[in-house]
């Protein structure tokens, strides 16, 4: 992901996290450039992306204003939520605990001394491999993450811990499958796929997971508040 795209996604994610306490303005370009360690040109390009989707508007000499209601925008994202849980299964590839890098510190609001879980899994739909998912989750919030959890529903695990789900914020881009991905998915190298970057956000504003996904069987839907009725439907 290019720096300007990461910054735009990260700023948008933080707007969702503010909830009703959304500030009037973003910090100045110079401050944002220092926080992300990039040039003001890169920050300006990221802000232009946010302005294009109606999240902010920039006033010359006055600053970068956040548009009221930005948290209610129906941003397009990738999803397989039409599938019931009994049609979906997972296989763990690897799981380990490590320190977060700079981007992961930004995403989860962590320090360099904290830990995150990093894991990879294959997702099967109707016994067909369709996704490679590389995910990170903060250890402090989920100290008992295990293979059993990863090979089931992360959403249901989050709910079992007493957390309340709010939104998914997802970026996606068309790609072609490389040799390593083709071997894992059992498909031909070079076929079309979707590269998905997904953040799961709790109702208290925290990001609980960040996933980097390659999907050869994707569909588009929208960001919506967590839907209890949809969860009950998928559990039938």
Note the pTM of the prediction, 2 decimals.
0.72
Separate counts of helices (H) and strands (E) for the chain: 8, 10
pLDDT at 78: 41
Tell me the mean pLDDT in the region 43-58. 87
* Per-residue pLDDT tens over the stretch 196-215: 999 999 999 999 999 999 99
* Per-residue pLDDT tens over the stretch 85-108: 788 899 999 999 999 999 999 999
Three-state secondary structure readout of 166-180: EEEEEEEEEEECCHH
Which tokens belong to 53? 């989707």
Cα 224 from Cα 137, distance rounded (Å): 22
**pLDDT reading at 220 higher than 70:** no
- 77, β-bridge pairs: 221
Which domains are delineated in the chain?
3-71 (1.10.10.10), 88-221 (3.40.1410.10)
Asked if residues 67 and 112 have their Cβ atoms less than 8 Å apart, the reply is no
Q: How does residue 218 score in pLDDT terms, banded at 50, 70 and 90?
A: confident
Tell me the mean pLDDT in the region 72-93. 70
pLDDT at 92: 98
Cα 72 from Cα 64, distance rounded (Å): 19
pLDDT at 71: 66
Of 201, 203, 2, nearest in space to 108 by CA: 201
* Per-residue pLDDT tens over the stretch 8-27: 889 988 887 877 778 889 99
Mean residue pLDDT across the chain: 88
Asked if residues 223 and 200 have their Cβ atoms less than 8 Å apart, the reply is no
């Amino acid at each position: 992901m290019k720096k300007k795209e990461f910054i735009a996604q990260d700023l948008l994610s933080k707007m969702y996290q503010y909830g009703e306490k959304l500030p009037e303005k973003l910090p100045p370009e110079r401050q944002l450039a220092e926080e992300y360690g990039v040039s003001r040109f890169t920050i300006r390009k990221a802000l232009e992306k946010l302005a294009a989707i109606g999240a902010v508007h920039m006033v010359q000499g006055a600053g970068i204003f956040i548009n009221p209601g930005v948290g209610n925008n129906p941003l397009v994202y990738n999803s397989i939520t039409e599938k019931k849980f009994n049609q979906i299964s997972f296989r763990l590839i690897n799981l380990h605990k490590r320190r977060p890098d700079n981007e992961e510190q930004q995403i989860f609001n962590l320090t360099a001394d904290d830990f995150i879980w990093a894991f990879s899994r294959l997702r099967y739909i109707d016994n067909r491999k369709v996704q490679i998912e590389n995910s990170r989750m903060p250890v402090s919030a989920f100290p008992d993450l295990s293979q059993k959890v990863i090979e089931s529903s992360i959403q249901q695990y989050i709910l079992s811990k007493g957390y309340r789900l709010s939104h998914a914020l997802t970026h996606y881009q068309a790609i072609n499958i490389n040799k390593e991905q083709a071997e894992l998915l059992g498909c031909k190298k070079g076929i079309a796929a979707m590269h998905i970057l997904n953040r799961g956000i709790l109702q208290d504003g925290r990001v609980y997971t960040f996933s980097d996904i390659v999907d050869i069987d994707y569909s588009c839907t929208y960001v919506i508040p967590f839907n209890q009725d949809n969860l009950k439907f998928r559990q039938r």
